[in-house]
Amino acid sequence: MSPDFLSEWTLRVDSPLEPWSTAAVAISQKILAGEEGAVENYLQFLSAGCTKDPVSLLKMAGVDLSTGEPVDRALEVFEDAIIQMENL
């Protein structure tokens, strides 16, 4: 996969689901890795409902969308999936 493709993909903001799928990847990886407090943080995030703006709520779950880290994680998962599909 070319680095140009990854750069273009990260810059796409026309999909309203992209930030949330990025957050979902970050949350699920924390939980699946057994990160201490990840489940509790996720449950706290869910129980907060609409009491704060979405970005603040996600910070409760340990996902800071103001940094590039969640996007980097999501891109790694996306790249792994493409490699697996290419190997089929």
6 inside domain: no
Residue 42 domain boundaries: 18-86
Q: What is the pLDDT of residues 17-33, one digit of tens each?
A: 467 788 999 999 999 99
For the chain, the domain total comes to: 1
22 inside domain: yes
Q: What is the pLDDT of residues 37-77, one digit of tens each?
A: 999 999 999 999 999 999 999 999 999 988 888 888 888 88
Cα–Cα distances (Å) from 82 to 4, 79, 85, 88, in that order, read 15, 5, 5, 10
pTM > 0.75 = no
Residue at token pair 């140009």: 4
Residue at token pair 């999501």: 74
CA-to-CA distance for 73 and 19, rounded, in angstroms?
12
Look at residue 42 in the predicted model and tell me its pLDDT: 96
60 inside domain: yes
Helical (H) or strand (E) element with 87: none
32 inside domain: yes
